[in-house]
Amino acid sequence: MTPLAGLAGLSLLAPTAAAEGRTVPPTDPTTTDGGTAEDVASGLAPVDVLEVSGLVDDVTVDSIIDAIAKAEADGSQALILQMNTGGAIVDEARMVELIHAVRDAEVGIGLWVGPARGSRVLGWPAQLFGVADVTAMVAGAHVGHTGDLLDPSVDLRQGADVMRNDALDYREARAVGVLRYEGPADLDVPTMRSMVSAMDGVVLENGTELDTVVPQLDDQGVTQNMSTLVRFSSLGLVEQVFHTVASPPIAYLFFVIGCCLLIFEFFTAGVGVAGFVGAALTVLGSYGLSALPTRGGAVALLVVAMVAFAIDVQVGIPRFWTGVGMVTFVLGSWFLYDSLPGTDLRLSWITLIVGIGGVALTFVVGMPSMVRTRFAT
């Protein structure tokens, strides 16, 4: 998850540096009878925003739970999760832990599916819509494929049955009560600014009423809503690395490239750079494959392929074992991942072309020539 730099241009936001996030105050300098917009907004408790993108893994779960705790400790009145995820790759116990954390939060929790059309929340993460205080989405977004509900506290209202095996757009989700915010039934929430406004006036179970905007009159007598401070947070460097490698194409390519570099280092007796990089990529790729819903047999085929390639690399000529390696490698690549509800994790054609084509060039042309040249001098 990266900082939401694209929202920095909104009139209510202006960036200031922070160690783990950014604080963005309103910048409209309009003077009113009650003072400037900055003076009015400074009296409101801030709202925190955390982007949740990619598959929900252990890193994501920890980041959301930590963000809730931080919002409570720092005096924020609400936390908005900007979501775009195709599913969860954590076990049921971890997902229930996340559901309870959102349900029991002392601050208001908002879920916003956006910002782009085509954003989605599928699988177990969609069950968070049944425990959050405010839920909304942009036009063109979808939510659903929840499967069986993991906790009795998840209340998806009339959408529980249809969302089990299907996804709803914002109009359908609004009609069955899955989206919870004030306004016309056909009105989406297109921006983060709109989402902050949608949180205003919501009364939490602990009796706290959220106060995220203040109406002000300008010199022409036109009412404007001035928003509270909005603070964006992001993953740290290490957390971001592990979250990134737990994505299907990255885990696959890291593992394959790492194994190729290790074979190269072993048979060319280099200075160790390729071996070090290969070991690092193999470890990261192995972590990603272990976190994702991989098929054990397919992973075994990838390993067998590398062993078969190494046999012919040793003799310096691509023969029978190179053919065996290519066949097992293609099969392992194609059947590597199981699907999630509503999301097909099968590798894209671009990823397959890069992986299979790169391996073919490496072990049919590049590696044998390198080995022959290396030991012929």
Same domain, 156 and 231: yes
Split at pLDDT 50, 70, 90, the class of 366 is confident
Domain end point (choices 235, 263, 283):
235
Same domain, 219 and 309: no
Same domain, 211 and 344: no
Same domain, 190 and 310: no
Report the alpha-carbon distance of residue 22 to residue 6 in Å, rounded. Answer: 13
Chain CA centroid to CA 268, Å: 40
Same domain, 207 and 100: yes
The least confident of 163-167, 190-194, 329-333 is: 190-194
pLDDT of residue 35: 53
Scan for tokens 């902050």, then name that residue: 196
In a domain, 240, yes or no: no
Q: What are phi and psi of 106, to 5 degrees?
A: -80, -20
In a domain, 132, yes or no: yes
Domain end point (choices 211, 235, 259):
235
Domain end point (choices 235, 270, 298):
235
pLDDT of residue 24: 43
Same domain, 302 and 366: yes
Per DSSP, the three-state class of 127 is: helix
Split at pLDDT 50, 70, 90, the class of 236 is confident
The least confident of 143-152, 188-197, 217-226, 307-316 is: 217-226
Same domain, 229 and 256: no
pLDDT above 50 for 297: yes
In a domain, 242, yes or no: no
In a domain, 141, yes or no: yes
In a domain, 225, yes or no: yes
- Bond from prior residue into 341 cis (ω within 30 degrees of 0): no
Split at pLDDT 50, 70, 90, the class of 6 is very low
Order across the sheet with 134-137: list the strands.
21-24, 230-233, 47-53, 78-84, 108-113, 134-137
Report the alpha-carbon distance of residue 67 to residue 310 in Å, rounded. Answer: 47
Average pLDDT (125-133) is: 97
Query: Comparing 370 with 84, which gets the higher pLDDT?
Result: 84
Residues listed for the chain: 377
Question: Which residue segment(s) compose the domain that 85 sits in?
Answer: 5-235
Residue 237: both structure tokens together: 């460097």
In a domain, 353, yes or no: yes
Same domain, 272 and 217: no
Q: Is 251 exposed, middle or buried (0-12, 13-18, 19+ CB in 10 A)?
A: buried
pLDDT above 60 for 309: yes
Same domain, 40 and 160: yes
The least confident of 37-51, 159-173, 276-290 is: 37-51
In a domain, 241, yes or no: no
pLDDT above 80 for 11: no
The least confident of 212-226, 328-342, 355-369 is: 212-226
Report the alpha-carbon distance of residue 178 to residue 183 in Å, rounded. Answer: 14
Same domain, 288 and 217: no
The least confident of 2-11, 201-210, 238-247, 354-363 is: 2-11
Q: Quote the DSSP letter at residue 346.
A: P
In a domain, 210, yes or no: yes
Question: What whole-number percentage of the chain has pLDDT above 70?
Answer: 84
Same domain, 136 and 227: yes
Average pLDDT (28-43) is: 52
Give the domain CATH number at 98. Answer: 3.90.226.10
To the nearest 10°, report the CA torsion of 228, 234, 236, 240.
Answer: 170
Split at pLDDT 50, 70, 90, the class of 16 is very low
Report the alpha-carbon distance of residue 241 to residue 54 in Å, rounded. Answer: 13
How many domains does one find in the chain? 2
Query: Comparing 225 with 21, which gets the higher pLDDT?
Result: 225
Mean pLDDT, the chain, whole residue set: 86
Split at pLDDT 50, 70, 90, the class of 220 is confident
Same domain, 19 and 135: yes
Split at pLDDT 50, 70, 90, the class of 22 is very low
